[in-house]
Structure 1
Amino acid sequence: MQKKIEVTSAIINENRVEFQVGEAQIELTKIKATGQMLVDSDALSFIYIAENDSEYVYLSFPITVWKELQEMIEKNYIPVLVDGKDKLTLENMTEELTYLIGNIEGNANYGDEMVEKVENIFLKQSS
């Protein structure tokens, strides 16, 4: 089984990017980071996989926070999930996201819209 939680906003705080989720959605103290990511092309989201004792927890990063994801990669900020009271460092997220972006670039298998959005947000500075 799996549970999906959507990140609602992101804040740059010193050398961290704090990705906000609603407090009632999950207890961050009961999940752990796996260091693995997926792509949800239909929802235009990147998915970070976390887990607890009984299920995977999919943390969805929609296009509304991609600017902060791009800044996280560019400035090597630490990604942290925050729910108002607890925090969870998202281990290996920068490396996984960078790898996925490289795979998506020019790859129609991810869908034209996903490729276009990823290239415009993450790759336009380097081209």
Structure 2
Amino acid sequence: GAYHENEQIAFASHDEVNANYIKLLDILFNRNYKVEKRLLNKESEDLKFAVATHDSKLIEHTIGLWKTSKIGIKNFEFEFLKGIRDELKRDLVEEGFRVAEYIPYGDEWLPYSVRRLRERKRNIFLLARSLVQS
């Protein structure tokens, strides 16, 4: 995604990243978590994870996995860049999901933000639409 990494340690294409992301989501939602020698149930607060993506297909896949899993709705959250996909964030919250926003900061915030916008042309349109809607 947004970081420049050596191809020996990172997936090179968007399709490879998404395929691996789906595999990791499947692991998170489908394994039988054992916490303190008991099966994790939907009310358990022992497991927390985040699904950080702006990709609608990955979000839909996540919701589909959640519906058939033993993972509670409060055990995970969707994470988005602030100002991106605001309407989708509102929809997810209305459906009962947790949603968090993040803002890049620190010495590398600008190069990071530019890479995020350049990695997919759609991000530029999402940002522009969010600015107009705000």
Structure number, greater radius of gyration: 2
Larger RCO, structure (CA 8 Å, separation 6 or more): 1
Higher strand share: 1
TM-score, scaled to structure 1:
0.32
Higher helix share: 2
TM-score, scaled to structure 2:
0.31
